[in-house]
Amino acid sequence: MTPLVKLTGVSKSYGSIRALRDVSLEVSAGEITCVLGDNGAGKSTLIKIISGLHRHDSGTFEIDGEETELANPRAALDRGIATVYQDLAVVPLMPVWRNFFLGSEPTRGRGPLRRLDVDLMRRTTRSELLRMGIDLRDVDQPIGTLSGGERQCVAIARAVHFGAKVLVLDEPTAALGVKQSGVVLKYVAAARDAGLGVVLITHNPHHAHLVGDRFVLLKRGAMAGSHTRDSITLDELTRQMAGGSELDELSHELARVAQSGPQPPEPAGPAGTTAPPRDDTTR
Amino acid sequence: MTASAPAPAPAAPAADERLAPVPLLRRLLGRPELGAVVGAAAVFLFFSFAADSFLRASSLSTVLYSASTLGIMAVPVALLMIGGEFDLSAGVMVTTSALVSSMFSYQMTANVWVGVLVSLLVTLALGFFNGYMLTRTKLPSFIITLGTFLMLTGLNLGFTKLITGTVSTKSIADMEGFPSARALFASQWTLGPVTLKVTVLWWAALVALATWILLRTRAGNWIFAVGGGADAARAVGVPVVRTRIGLYMGVALCAWISGQHILFSYDVVQSGEGVGNEFLYIIAAVIGGCLMTGGYGSAIGAAVGAFIFGMTSNGIVYAQWNPDWFKFFLGAMLLLATLLNAWVRKRAEAK
């Protein structure tokens, strides 16, 4: 099957700064490709190339097997690539259904009677969210009253509804608590099951390993590894992500944890506590 | 824990403990107009007892008239505030509009309708100027419109003195088209004891139109979005610049209606008028539930705010109090309304 999005040997420089060097990545329909890396590893640059904000300098960028250069984010959207940024692009004081259709509101009637199709908007919002497994009591509530995880899910559902084939998620779990992260990961999995290709950017190997099919590790702008789910364990992924000199420090830390019982090794996302949502999805 | 195969997503989770039921009372509290309606009822009751003549039909028409002259401007100002901006030039723009209309007709000895149309174009251009400057410079609207306010104040006086030699315009009452223009902008009917001014109809029509735009059109959705989160709005494709300029031109359009009313109620215009009225419009909008920071409010709320203004300004007269107290009332209501709004917003944004 042709991958929906395939990057081969992509590089990008900003002036004299080489933000990305020779990075390859692919994502197919119904798959989740995780991009892992620490701060400054080049994750944001990679998203900006995929979502059409920046153009790559060298390498190839294929969509549906066809080499492309995206002129702007609109072009990316037209090719079915939707990006959900960390700020989510929602207006907190507006009701969920108005946010859902913001910028692409369906209308009925003509001329001066052209008006929002409010019924359709409400109904669609409810059903689309339900399809993603979010059961909102009231689509009229301001979106600001939803939790961070739910807002993330609405943003994902919106991208799915507007015909995204590839969903690029920029650290969807970064600002969330453990339980909320679980909820979001479930909806990421739901989007995958709906047949979308997902590029999940994260710095949390635990979250990545829960849902990912492929893993691309970035370090200081270069690829530090590319793996499929079968070829790597969580421990290995964590170790690779820590990598190099930091590895000693981490193993030291882990050793102490092993002695003192099941304490979380790092605040980002202990595997033990993110497990429950995964259990839900396997049931 | 690290199961290998991706599993199907679960069905919708059963009763979700994160979503508490929303009581009816809280929903009512979530309406932007609520504070204004409660306030209006309180003010009405207060003056019903404090002033014997307040409940007479003739008093009602006076109250409605003052409410309508303010309300015609409070409605577009409310929309503008929902869109997250201010217009400090709105008060003098009304005078400018009246002056342009009057002086153009008089100097050109043209049909007054020509002056009325020229005034419409000039006023809309002023609104466009405000919006264009705002979106191009990205300076706060407070500064931009403060500049327009001062410039217009100066131009109003300067041009009027230059052209007529005095601070007011010459009478246009005997000019062609005056009666028909007066019928449109400043007529009145007597229905039994009630005198109904045409401004009340203009006001009602504008409230209905603004409410329709806000709640049922794409433009309305964009107004809320531009005020509530301009960056998010831009990111999903809302034409932010066009929306903002449109809002300023809406204020200008209503300033034109209001200006023509002033001109045709009398037949001369005092060039120094209108200064300070911009704050009354903003107060009416804020009492009516518009947030100073944008993204929240309603046209009906602003109408109720204007009605409170009408009741208070006339009620004090009917109660035979010293009208010096009026400004105190206005200030106190503004504070109360703002406190109520801040509280509502906190609840609306509570996580």
Question: In chain B, which residues have their Cβ closer than 8 Å to the Cβ of A205?
Answer: none
Same domain, A58 and A194: yes
Q: Give dist(CA B248, CA B118) in Å, integer.
A: 18
Q: What pTM does this model have?
A: 0.79
Same domain, A76 and A107: no
Asked if A130 reaches chain B (Cβ–Cβ under 8 Å), the answer is yes
Same domain, A263 and A145: no
Nearest to B67 by CA among B306, B276, B316, B285: B306
Asked if B161 reaches chain A (Cβ–Cβ under 8 Å), the answer is no
* Residues B1, A87: C-beta atoms closer than 8 Å: no
Residue type, B153: T
Q: Give dist(CA A108, CA A253) in Å, integer.
A: 62
Question: In chain B, which residues have their Cβ closer than 8 Å to the Cβ of A192?
Answer: 6
Asked if B25 reaches chain A (Cβ–Cβ under 8 Å), the answer is no
* Residues B348, A114: C-beta atoms closer than 8 Å: no
Token pair of A206 as six digits: 């635990």
Same domain, A149 and A192: no
Least trusted range by pLDDT, from A205-214, B214-223, B321-330: B321-330
Same domain, A229 and A276: yes
Last residue of a domain, one of A146, A162, A178: A162
Q: Give dist(CA B334, CA B269) in Å, integer.
A: 30
Same domain, A136 and A175: no
Domains of chain B: 38-171+179-345 (1.10.3470)
Last residue of a domain, one of A142, A162, A182: A162
Write out the residue range of the structural domain in which residue A141 sits.
92-162
Residues 6+ apart with CB under 8 A from A212: A32, A33, A34, A200, A229
Backbone angles phi, psi at A36, to 5 degrees: -110, 150
Same domain, A173 and A255: yes
In a domain, A265, yes or no: yes
Q: Distance, in angstroms, between A246 CA and closest chain B CA? A: 24
* Residues A89, B1: C-beta atoms closer than 8 Å: no
Range 190-229 of A in CB contact (< 8 A) with B: 190, 192-193, 209-211, 213, 229
* Residues B232, A193: C-beta atoms closer than 8 Å: no
Range 292-321 of B in CB contact (< 8 A) with A: 295-296
Asked if B218 reaches chain A (Cβ–Cβ under 8 Å), the answer is yes
Q: How many residues can be counted in chain A?
A: 283
Same domain, A184 and A155: no
**Confidence class for position B350, pLDDT limits 50, 70, 90:** low
Residues 6+ apart with CB under 8 A from B115: B100, B101, B102, B103, B104, B105, B106, B108, B172
Range 224-283 of A in CB contact (< 8 A) with B: 229-230, 233-234, 271-272, 275, 278-283
Write down the pLDDT at residue B90. 95
Query: What is the b/e burial string over A35-72, where b = at least 16 CB atoms within 10 angstroms of the residue's CB?
Result: bbbeeebbbbbbbbbbbbebebeebebbbeeeebebee
**Confidence class for position B129, pLDDT limits 50, 70, 90:** very high
- Residue B17, classed as helix, strand or coil, is coil
The CATH number of the domain holding residue A179 is 3.40.50.300
Write down the pLDDT at residue B16. 45
Token pair of A70 as six digits: 């995206």
In a domain, A114, yes or no: yes
Q: What is the mean pLDDT of each run of 10 residues along chain A (283 residues)?
A: 86 86 89 86 86 86 86 80 79 90 87 88 89 79 83 84 87 80 86 89 86 88 82 80 64 70 49 42 40
In a domain, A87, yes or no: no
**Confidence class for position B22, pLDDT limits 50, 70, 90:** low
In a domain, A101, yes or no: yes
pLDDT at B196 over 50: yes
Residue type, B55: L
Q: Distance, in angstroms, between A219 CA and closest chain B CA? A: 25
Q: Which of B8, B238, B348 is facing A102, going by the closest CB pair? A: B238
Query: 10 Å Cβ neighbour count for A183?
Result: 25
A82 touches A162 (CB < 8 A): yes
CA angle A38, A41, A44 (to 5 degrees): 100
Same domain, A47 and A110: no
Q: Provide the number of structural domains found in chain A.
A: 2
In a domain, A45, yes or no: yes
Query: 10 Å Cβ neighbour count for B155?
Result: 15
Q: Give dist(CA B284, CA B333) in Å, integer.
A: 10
Q: Which of B1, B21, B236 is facing A275, going by the closest CB pair? A: B1
Question: In chain A, which residues have their Cβ closer than 8 Å to the Cβ of B3?
Answer: 278, 282
B289-298 average pLDDT score: 88
Last residue of a domain, one of A108, A134, A162: A162
Same domain, A141 and A17: no
Token pair of B14 as six digits: 């059963």
Write down the pLDDT at residue B10. 39
B291-303 average pLDDT score: 90
Give the residue carrying structure tokens 């995780």: A34
Q: Give dist(CA A19, CA B184) in Å, integer.
A: 66
**Confidence class for position B344, pLDDT limits 50, 70, 90:** low
